Structure 1
Amino acid sequence: MAGWVWFRCLFGPNLHRIHRPPDQNRPEGRAGRRGWTYQPKSLEKHTDSILGWASALWSLSYYSSPLILCYLYRKGYFCSTKLIPVSQYVGTVLVCLLGIACLRGLGRWRNPEYLQFITILEETRKNHNHSNKKKLACYDFDFSHWPADFNWKEVSSPKLSQGGVSLLKPEPRHRGSADSVLSSFRTLPCHILSDRSLIWEEDAVPRFEGQRNKLVACDGNEIDTMFVDRRRDGGERGKTLVICCEGNAGFYEVGCMNTPLDGGYSVLGWNHPGFAGSTGVPFPQNEANAMDVVIQFAVHKLGFQLPDIIVYAWSIGGFTASWAVMSYPEVRAVVLDASFDDLLPLALKVMPDSWSESQGQGRGGGGPLVTHTVRQYMNLNNAEQLCKYQGPVLLIRRTKDEIITTMGPEDIMSNRGNDLLLKLLQFRYPKVMTEEGVRAVRQWLGAASQLEEASVYSHYEVDDDWCTSVLQSYQTDRETFFPWSVGEDMTPEGRRQLALFLARKYMRNFDTTHCTPLPISEFQPPWRL
């Protein structure tokens, strides 16, 4: 029996932190402590350090192997007389590493904290019930060893099409076949951020009783999620679930999840495929698959209905958020912060002028290589997806955004959030967004301050009460699915008023840069007529 326990310790995961004691039989000296960082004994600490260096060197040699092989070939090492000693040396190193791993297993076996943890982990794998999951949640360890909490197969088959557009499909395995081999190297940025992640978990897990779960998407990727339930004490906001979609290189530990959390909402955050505990590669299809299983988990395991869910995204997370509301139109609302209409103009901005389609077109002129690559592999068409959603939308524009502007933060009219707003309004209210309506909205978008915005609004003498009554009358008398034909019998002055009224309802300005965390005061449910 002792040998079997040692064997489990040998192949067990690294233990990082104990959030709270799983029961009263905790090691002596830990009584009364809320949580603590796991302290390995001397034998485990030193052997783990050696294995960590060996893993890093292996990753480095793997990626530099073409150069190493070329060097060895030029030096004449590819012959039997030299290969045999090299193979013997490599074999000796592997045997030594195996011995070190065995010693690490012995060190873990002699540590009562690790022994208790590995026992709970094995019990949970055998019987994945609520009691065992609650005990396992007391520990923070390598997420790859966490048992799956939800699989997309449990409730439904993938969405194959909607309106002739492919929505969900497994990514071909050959595109990620090297993922397991390269995972340690590819997740180095995650390790760099691990201290910040642990700090967040030290606060969120005990304080908010955060629940970490592993979801398995239809492509086989494992998605790392964190859920904070506020339904008991959060009032009406607590009954609403905000699903957060992070931006580029964003993690739920340090991303936009904190904004609705501060507001008392129930919150579900998730990490992109390939980020932190999530596996895979963040291609658009994998992102959509991940978002799908997150929504299915929220509905079928967490017990929220789609009308109870708000999808909130920051930056590039607007792709998965717009995909979600397009695919699940019953979702209550969507909030897009610092997002854009289409990735292509932003990609062309950073590419050399020589890549443009013809001489002299310059940036934004349509580089064929860039265009083909974006459309084929990274077609983040947020505006197109958002226009297929019928529910409430709020766009938050950063007035000093330096990331999603094509001409720099000083040119607010080059902010692609403007294009997202215009495309949405032109689809939903085509009779209002005629030439005069678009011109008025562009003038409002070009305002450099709140004072200038108010000046434009008053210049066109916008009557909010009149605009509201016109829209409510149209909604009462006709089918309410967009696009609406409201405005077709209006004067140009009336269309300008209505266009500005709608623009201000659909978009809020936040006077800051792209990466500034959004305060809860700026996070509001979208306008609903």
Structure 2
Amino acid sequence: MAKLLSCVLGPRLYRVYRERGPARLPQDGDEAAEGSPASRESSWDSYYQPRSLEKHSDSILALASVLWSISYYTSPLAFFYLYRKGYLTMSKVVPFSHYAATMLFLLAGVACLRGIGRWTNPQYIQFITILEDSHRIGTPEIKKKLASYNFDFRSWPVDFRWDEVSSRSDSRGISLLQPPPKHRSTANGFLNAVKKLPCQIASYIVAHTFGRRMLYPGSVYLLQKALMPMLLQGQARLVEECGGKRAKLLACDGNEIDTMFMDRRGTSEPQGAKLVICCEGNAGFYEVGCLSTPLDAGYSVLGWNHPGFAGSTGIPLPQAEANAMDAVVQFAIHRLGFQPDDIVLYAWSIGGFTATWAAMTYPEISALVLDASFDDLVPLALKVMPESWRGLVTRTVRQHLNLNNGEQLCRYQGPVLLVRRTKDEIITTTVPEDIMSNRGNDLLLKLLQHRYPKVMGEEGVRMVREWLEASSPMEEVAVCSRYEVEDDWCMSVLRSYRDQHGPDFPWSVGDDMMPEGRRQLALFLARKHLQNFEATHCTPLPHHNFRLPWRL
């Protein structure tokens, strides 16, 4: 009976992975091989095959889950409609509650039938036995057997805790950059607080209802349900073809973070000694996201899902994002064994927030690559919301959804590379054709103005903007040729300053320089920190376009 109860309450089993060979990179011929009938048959056989009773009862429960999710998102409209029609009365609510209780009882019966179907399936019995042993014993051998299964990640045992490192066990949480407080007298401060209370309540409601779901659509259950087959295929590729190892991390706020690690150390790839930690976009998952770019380039790679995405729990708000990223970096250093100066942070789009936060918090990290990222969320939020909502939108973002990438980036001292999409339709504030409205430009200018304030004066900013306006590589070269930028001279000036004053930014280089020299340095530094990629926002970055940032 204990085993039957385990089958009733146990997780859904999706796949039994094929026997993994040695880790290798996908080859050019793999795609064709995967399309062959033998490959398709092998892939199909690796899926868990439930018996009829489990299959049909599971379909009923899945349909009920989708209907519940739809009713949850439409509940405000439904309640308003029922109220207008006069249905929210005691005489009509009581029969409905009886109907709901009956439906819950029937669904519990269906769950029991599903458990019986699992109980009669030797494959599921073997899986549930291994899962129970992993929670009870947790030896490496048992965990290795468990890694052969893909199942509901909520039942996966925790592999790493954020406080596992003794020096961090007394931490009180992870800090974010906060806007400076406005100083007022006590009386005025109290009156202003009372006046602003309705606005603050409205901002909180907006942020925690449709606001965060617009910002992170990947956390919406219905979207995840639609993407589930694609996510399962992506996991299978990473595990079976790339030797991926899945792990669950526990963050300081109690959220469980789903990660996947591909180890290239000890292989023929010279880049394998470097670990690239990938931070996905607002609807991206490591199974099908930007992780493939450094993976195909031969690096060791660690991917993770935002809180509330796929196997990760929680809600993707800035504090939870930072907590999750902290656990990921700690896992990479203290469990996977990478030194901070062997770790590269790679982020796409909104993933720039967690990447810049980690770079600011762990300044010894080797390098930072930001692809299609932005400097501040407010201008992009104002772009998609009505003009009459400007005050509410600004207040909501600043108080609850403050993704201040530019400010965090300026706190990092290491090498940085920005990848700008020349046809980006997401992080431009006007139209994709207007490349000067791309917020990646503002991210570059903020970085250069912080690091090289004497070079990036009014004229230096004008030079960099002229270069950023170039719409093709030929026009970029023409701008640099027009101002006679000499790379060797710029390098010698920068190296000489570093040798005399040290590497810490900001630098005062250019303070005693002629305007022509400052113009050359401004254009030289812009070229070294930004790489153009002729594509739209969601086009995957080819692995041959992925490179580490410039180092002096």
TM range, normalised to the smaller chain? 0.7 to 0.9
Which of residues 125, 140, 148 is equivalent to 1:115? 125
1:176 positional shift: 8.9
- Give the distance between the partners of 2:406 and 2:453, measured in 1 at CA: 15
Q: Which residue pairs with 2:364 in the alignment?
A: 330
| Deviation readout 1:129-150 (Å, 9 max, x if unpaired) | 2211111111111111111111
Match of 2:215 in 1: none
**Does the Cα contact within 8 Å between 2:69 and 2:221 map onto a contact in 1?**
no
AA partner of residue 444 (structure 1): W
Matching residue's letter, 2:11: P
Post-superposition CA distance 1:138-168 (Å, at most 9, x none): 11111111111111121222555599999xx
Q: Which runs of 5+ in 2 are unaligned?
A: 21-40, 181-203, 213-217
Q: Taking structure 1 as reference, are residues 61 and 200 closer, same or farther at Cα in structure 2, changes over 3 Å only?
A: closer
CA distance change for structure 1 residues 295 and 312 in 2, over 3 Å: closer, same or farther? Answer: same
Counterpart in 2 of 1:350? Answer: 384
CA contact (8 A) 1:242 1:266 kept: yes
Q: Given the superposition, is the C-alpha separation of residues 467 and 10 from structure 1 closer, same or farther in structure 2, using an over 3 Å criterion?
A: same
Identity %: 63
What is the CA–CA distance in structure 2 between the aligned matches of 1:185 and 1:326, rounded to whole Å? Answer: 26
Q: Which of 259, 262, 268 does residue 225 from structure 1 map onto?
A: 259
Query: C-alpha offsets along residues 463-511 of structure 1, whole Å, 9 cap, x if unaligned?
Result: 1111101111111111221001111111000000111111100111111
> Separation in 2 of the partners of 1:62 and 1:462?
60
Q: Would you say 1:41 and 2:51 are equivalent positions?
A: yes
Selected match of 2:306 from 272, 275, 280: 272
Question: Cα distance 1:433–1:38, how it changes in 2: closer, same or farther (>3 A)?
Answer: same
1:56 paired with 2:66, answer: yes
Per the alignment, residue 391 of structure 1 pairs with 414
Q: Give me the whole-angstrom Cα distance separating, in 2, the residues matched to 1:191 and 1:460.
A: 55
Residue 145 (structure 1) aligned with residue 155 (structure 2): yes
The separation in 2 between residues aligned to 1:506 and 1:121, in whole angstroms, is: 48
Partner in structure 2 of residue 258 of structure 1: 292
* Equivalent position of 1:200 in the other structure: 234
Cα gap change, 1:72 to 1:340, in 2 (>3 Å): closer
CA 1:119–1:21: 2 relative to 1, 3 Å = farther
Higher helix share: 2
Judge conservation of contact 1:399–1:511 (CA < 8 Å) in 2.
yes
C-alpha separation between the residues in 2 aligned to 1:165 and 1:371? 13
Separation in 2, partners of 1:233, 1:162: 38
Distance 2:340 2:11 in 1: 36
Letter paired with 1:50:
I
* Counterparts of 2:439 and 2:99, CA distance in 1: 57
Alignment correspondent of 2:543? 520
The C-alpha deviation readout for 1:502-529, integer Å capped at 9, x for no partner, is 1100111111111110011111010000
Inter-partner Cα distance in structure 2 for 1:54 and 1:127: 35
**CA separation of 1:517 and 1:62: change in aligned 2, threshold 3 A:** closer
Cα distance change of structure 1 residues 235 and 72 upon mapping to structure 2, 3 Å threshold: closer
Aligned 8 A contact 1:59 1:185 in 2: no
CA distance, structure 2, for counterparts of residue 351 and residue 176 of structure 1 = 16
Is the contact made by 1:120 and 1:135 (CA closer than 8 Å) also made in structure 2? yes
Q: Which moved more, 1:92-101 or 1:134-143?
A: 92-101
**Per the alignment, do residues 117 and 445 of structure 1 end up closer, same or farther by CA in structure 2, a change over 3 Å counting?**
same
SS for the counterpart of 2:284 is: coil
- 1:403 is matched with 426
State the one-letter code of the partner of 1:387.
C
Amino acid at match of 2:438: N
Counterpart Cα distance in 2 of 1:21 and 1:453: 51
Q: C-alpha displacement at 1:421, in angstroms?
A: 0.7
Do 2:134 and 2:157's aligned partners in 1 also have CA atoms closer than 8 Å? yes
Match of residue 214 from structure 1: 248
1:153-201 C-alpha deviation (Å, 9 max, x unpaired): 21222555599999xxxxx9xx999x9xxxx994221111111111112
One-letter code aligned to 1:382: N
Residue 467 of structure 1: aligned partner: 490
- The letter of the residue matching 2:450 is F
SS for the counterpart of 1:224 is: strand
Structure 1 residue 130 corresponds to structure 2 residue 140: yes
RMSD (Å) for aligned C-alpha atoms: 2.6
Distance in 2, Cα, partners of 1:332 & 1:342? 24
2-side partners of 1:516 and 1:64: how far apart? Answer: 33
The alignment covers a number of residue pairs equal to 495
Structure scoring higher RCO (CA < 8 A, sep ≥ 6) equals: 2
- Say which of 444, 467, 475 aligns to 1:452: 475
- TM-score of the aligned structures, taking structure 2 as reference length: 0.84
C-alpha displacement at 1:272, in angstroms? 0.8
